[in-house]
Amino acid sequence: MATAQQEADQANQAATRANNALSVKQTEIDKLNAQLRNLQDMSKNSIDLVDINKFKQAYADYLADGKLNDADIAYVKSAGEKNEFVGSEADEKNMVDVNNISSDQLKELALFTSDLLSKVRNQLGAGDDQVTQGAIDFAEKVAKRYVEDFKSGAWKPGWHDATGINDVSKNNGLDYSTKKDGSYDDVWQPYEDKSETWLSNPVSMNVLKQNIYDNLRDMIIPSGSGLDHPGAEPTYEMAHTRGLLGINGVSKEVLINTEKAAEAWLAKHPNGTYRATFNGKTYENHDIKKYVDSVIEKNRSLCLLHWQG
């Protein structure tokens, strides 16, 4: 009798283990299916440059002249209108508390963003954008700093929280921008491209992704609402384009126009100074001739300039 009971118990235990294993397996399958659905949703969204040559020309014109001409503006208006976000029913049901966003939700948004950037970079012949846990952690710290500085009054909407970003950057062993006196720069920082959008909380994942999509599209293919310095009038600028895509030499015409612009400025201001963001670092008041030489010397690398007369 005891033996029969033992055999029954063992059978029940085996059945329980089998059910547990099946449950774990089903959970894994559910996760994989969810990831697959997310990938399928991501694949629906892309930002199409429409005409690569016109995009390159617009970028070259911006670097050379600091603005887009009429032909460039006509192109970006037309290209921008051809790109629309594709939503997801699953994302509409997935609500997010932006003040307590989970690590999985952060990763999903990072992957969605990276997928969009990769697709644009691929159109230009560049490799895929990469997502790392370190980048996600850094972005989360910057977001929290925004909240802290907004509450304390240290940052006001309208421009980057440059002081906060530079502080977070330094504390995480990253490059950061400073003023001449060594204090944190309160205007420039080497990492963030930002667009301000105020949303109710909680908000659906679909709305968050749509905001990411719309903002990326309007910065990569400028919509005319960009600011290239505090207090500036909205304009068609491509500084954010470069920052988002990490493009350091889209084409020969970009390089040629950049050098021409620098040399033309040098001819007018032989003793001038400049402010430049170069390879993630900000430099001020260097001899302009050194910049022109560095463009040629450093493998034709490009940087964004803020000329000072």
Please state the rounded mean pLDDT for residues 169-179.
88
CA–CA separation, 245 and 260 (whole Å): 23
Quote the pLDDT of residue 63.
76
Which pLDDT tens digit goes with each residue over 198-225? Answer: 888 999 999 999 999 999 999 999 998 8
Q: In angstroms, what CA-CA distances link 228 with 131, 135, 148, 220, 241? A: 26, 24, 25, 14, 11
Q: Are 202 and 96 in contact (CB under 8 A)?
A: yes
**Does 26 or 130 have the greater pLDDT score?**
130
Distance in Å from the first CA to the final CA of the chain: 100
**Per-residue tokens: 29:** 């399958």
Which pLDDT tens digit goes with each residue over 262-308? Answer: 566 566 666 655 555 444 444 555 555 555 555 444 433 333 333 33
Query: Tokens 């460039």 identify what position?
Result: 72
Domain ranges of the chain: 41-247, 248-309
Rank 6-15, 25-34, 150-159, 187-196 by mean pLDDT and report only the highest. 150-159
**Confidence band for 69, pLDDT divided at 50, 70 and 90:** very high
Rank 70-84, 89-103, 107-121 by mean pLDDT and report only the highest. 70-84
